[in-house]
Chain A
Amino acid sequence: MPLTGRPTLTRGAKMRWDATRERHVLLGPETVVVLNPTGADILGLCDGHRSVADIVDELGRRYDRVVDDEVSGFLEKLVARRWVVISSD
């Protein structure tokens, strides 16, 4: 995963807080994905402006530990399932 790429949720996907289940959820056509808190934090930073490196830095500060593999592994999975697109221009 290129660290300079800027991830964003794919068109038609939405993340929101689910008060009933007390979790963040990712919503798409006919699909609901329940997110863990780290996943929700990563996706919350996928705004199409921040690069993967920016997200790693931000979460590293927030959690006070190294999160490179966690971030890129999570995003790779979501890219493969077309929840996230990465723009590189």
Chain B
Amino acid sequence: MIDGPLGLLAELTHACPLSCAYCSNPLELTKRSAEIGTDDWRRVLDQAADLGVLQSHFSGGEPLLRRDVVDLVAHAAGLGMYTNLVTSAIGLSRPRAEALRDAGLDHVQVSIQADEPVLSDRLAGISSFDKKMEAARLVKELGWPLTLNVVLHRQNIDRIGAILDRVEELEADRVELANTQYYGWALRNRSALLPSRAQLEHAEEVTRSARERLRGRTDVIYVIPDYYARYPKPCMGGWGARQLVVGPEGNAWPCLSAHELPLPRANVQEHDLAWIWRSSPLFSAFRGTDWMPDPCRSCERREVDLGGCRCQAFQLTGDMTRTDPVCHLAPDRGLVDAAVAEANSDGGPSRSPQEPAQEPVLVPVPALVSRPHRAD
């Protein structure tokens, strides 16, 4: 018997007021007119609860652009799920926030792009920083635990100390400092986003001391960029093992980026979630360890890394069954090494990370490709 998933990531829409160049949405965004309806999402939540899902993460795009987000949160809460809103905070007005609280929303994650408005707004592609600060304070005021999500990359990682000062000022309960994962939009913008080794060392040092300072007040989660790791990440805790994603058009996926893979689709409008999770070719494709080629197959870490990330293997090599190229044992590690060498070729960042500038410094951005706000 296959264990049921613990978490559902409900990507309600791909539309977003922001246009971040590292967005995890697909390059081909789903049109608003193709989104599934409120009743469809209610059915998905019912089926997810039956399957064993304990947590629902409402995400996007910007989930607050869906007029039914309050109804869907209420529905998930009514099923006993832990409900989480992952938002840019644009659209989190006081009445909306109060409605979400009354619907039973348990937790809010607000993204910030930097510690101050000039860089943050430039990265987000819209004037948004002040609204985000206001919304983060509102989250605390209404009694929710607050998580701040910060995607780190070459353009903002040197400001990590100031970002952590903001985190402290906002009294966030958690902060996720997650280095960019290179899929989709971020892969397209990789050379402008991948930090240098010196930048990373600085960021890790600042994070270590902030973690000490904030102990007991704020959980500081730091995710390294796997290009600099020796071993791959155990992506999603294993393929079809713990989490599932349902996209705006109703396609279910074992992970956020799996839409890129040449595998048959599984849509909630055609199949129920139990069949999709347990029996669909998509979710069965890389479950367990039998699919692994060497060096994974004979590796003592095969149950630790779980073969790394299929999407990364596909995006970098064109073959989704290859060993994740970030592993130092992978035959394709050279592909990752080349990107890392490029990120370090100019002597690293434009200023010394040991002496971070007090004022925001705008470094020239090599042609970041912004994602569009919506597909139609």
Interface residues of A (CB under 8 A from B): 10-12, 14, 16, 18, 20-21, 25, 27-30, 32, 82
Contacts and interface: CB of A to CB of B under 8 A. Distances in A.
B6 interface: yes
A20 B50 CA distance: 8
A26 B92 CA distance: 28
B4 A20 contact: yes
A82 B106 CA distance: 16
A89 B144 CA distance: 23
A9 to B, nearest CB: 12
The 5 residue pairs across chains A and B that have the minimum distance between CB atoms: A12-B145, A20-B52, A27-B82, A29-B107, A32-B6
Given A11-B144, A12-B107, A12-B145, 18 more contacts: A12-B106, A12-B144, A12-B173, A14-B82, A14-B106, A18-B54, A20-B4, A20-B51, A20-B52, A21-B4, A21-B52, A27-B55, A27-B82, A27-B106, A29-B84, A29-B109, A29-B174, A32-B54
B74 to A, nearest CB: 16
A57 B82 CA distance: 32
A28 B84 CA distance: 10
B312 interface: no
Contacts of A10: 145
A18 B51 CA distance: 11
Interface residues of B, number: 21
A29 B147 contact: yes
Interface of B: 4, 6-7, 51-52, 54-55, 80, 82, 84, 106-107, 109, 143-145, 147, 173-174, 216, 219
A51 B90 CA distance: 43
Contacts of A11: 143-145, 173
22 contacts: A11-B143, A11-B173, A12-B106, A12-B107, A12-B145, A12-B173, A16-B80, A20-B51, A21-B4, A21-B52, A27-B82, A27-B106, A28-B82, A29-B84, A29-B107, A29-B147, A29-B173, A29-B174, A30-B84, A30-B147, A32-B54, A32-B55
A28 B52 CA distance: 16
B100 to A, nearest CB: 14
A28 B145 CA distance: 10
A79 B219 CA distance: 13
Nearest to B219: A82
A14 B144 CA distance: 13
A40 B201 CA distance: 42
A47 B80 CA distance: 19
Contacts of B7: 32
Contacts of B6: 32
A38 B4 CA distance: 24
Nearest to A18: B54
A16 B79 CA distance: 11
A21 B4 CA distance: 9
Nearest to B173: A12
A16 to B, nearest CB: 6
Nearest to A20: B52
Contacts of A82: 216, 219
A29 to B, nearest CB: 5
Nearest to B80: A16
B103 to A, nearest CB: 15
A63 B240 CA distance: 40
A6 to B, nearest CB: 18
A29 B55 CA distance: 9
A28 B83 CA distance: 9
A21 B54 CA distance: 11
A11 B171 CA distance: 14
Contacts of B216: 82
Nearest to A12: B145
Contact of B54 (A12, A27, A29): A27
A18 B7 CA distance: 13
